Amino acid sequence: MARNLILYCCLVAVVAVSVKAEDKLDNLNVDEILNNGRLLKSYIQCVLDADDGKCTTEGKEIKSRVPKLVSTGCSDCTPSQLERAVKILKHITERHPAEWTKLKAKYDPTGEYTKKYAEAWKERGVNF
């Protein structure tokens, strides 16, 4: 009996470790946001503003991740997170340069990370 219980617990542990938790933003439709000016503006405002009252749940989650994304250059992002980050950064840097300038001023005021990761992002198709 105890042996079966131990075997069962081990099996549950293996399954729990092998099943990757779904990212809170996996179902976020990035294309919908990028192609809707009003929606994109509200997300950018959320990320720029200190007041979380103007943010959706997803906006708050994005905002909480931006500092780490900036400081690591997305080096620890999953492939799908990196794909979305590239799409978003490419869109904002190319089509919304004023907002991009504000985002850089807030999250990389010294330009340290921009310099550090510019080449890596350029290889991904994003020009800072």
Q: Is residue 49 part of a domain?
A: yes
Structure tokens at 19: 């099943």
Q: Is residue 101 part of a domain?
A: yes
Q: Is residue 6 part of a domain?
A: no
Percent of the chain with pLDDT over 70: 83
Q: Is residue 106 part of a domain?
A: yes
* pLDDT band at 15; cut points 50, 70, 90: very low
Q: Is residue 14 part of a domain?
A: no
* pLDDT band at 20; cut points 50, 70, 90: very low
pLDDT the model gives residue 50: 75
Q: Is residue 3 part of a domain?
A: no
Cα separation, 96 vs 81, in Å, equals 21
CATH number for 57? 1.10.2080.10
Q: Is residue 24 part of a domain?
A: no
Q: In terms of Cα–Cα distance, which of 118, 83, 113 is closest to 91?
A: 83
Q: Which residue has the higher pLDDT, 7 or 65?
A: 65
Cα separation, 10 vs 28, in Å, equals 34
Task: Identify whether the C-beta of residue 88 lies closer than 8 Å to the C-beta of residue 30.
Answer: yes
Task: Identify whether the C-beta of residue 47 lies closer than 8 Å to the C-beta of residue 103.
Answer: yes
Domain range holding 112? 29-123
Percent of the chain with pLDDT over 90: 71
pTM: 0.77
Q: Is residue 45 part of a domain?
A: yes
pLDDT the model gives residue 6: 39
Helix (H, G, I), strand (E, B) or coil at 3: helix
Q: Which residue has the higher pLDDT, 97 or 6?
A: 97
User: What's the number of domains the chain is made of?
Assistant: 1
Mean pLDDT, the chain, integer: 83
